[in-house]
Amino acid sequence: MLATENSILIVIDVQDRLVRVMHRRESLVENLRRLIGGAVVLDIPTIVTEQDPEKLGATIPEISSLLENVCPIHKSSFSCCKTEAFTEELGRMKRGQIIIAGVEAHVCVYQTVVDLIHEGYEVHIVTDCTSSRTADNRNLAIERMRDEGVKLTGTEMALFELLKIARGERFRKISRLVK
């Protein structure tokens, strides 16, 4: 089970030129907003990456506005784990559960997930917050990640699993986010 004190959220490459061509773009962005909003409520640290931002643009405003204190890590490798700034930040956090969301599922997300699993992390992919340009590529990536040992989850499932109880201010805030 996911635990707030042991989890990190990683948001991979949710950038302007990529997001605009993603399969089910509108629901992807809405679910990402819910997930990130929930991470903020639950005090879960977040890492954001950007693939070659000079070519693909910055993280979309709908997402970056929720993470004003998070500085994106720029990368050129597909796997986030091949970027020193990313691995250093991940190491500083000293947490073992990784919650992953982003694009593209069959490229950067997939390669990052495989590397994280091989490094011994427990990785959870939020399937409704992960996409590719085509449904086929997204679905293939989810299957391959599952074969590698990733745990599948959804936005609401992850947030309520982290929350654990149905009372208090955090519960009210999360409930408002998902409705």
Active site residues: 13, 75, 108
DSSP, collapsed to helix, strand or coil, labels residue 170 as helix
CB contact at 8 A, 45 and 137? no
CB contact at 8 A, 27 and 62? no
Please tell me what DSSP assigns to residue 107.
Answer: I
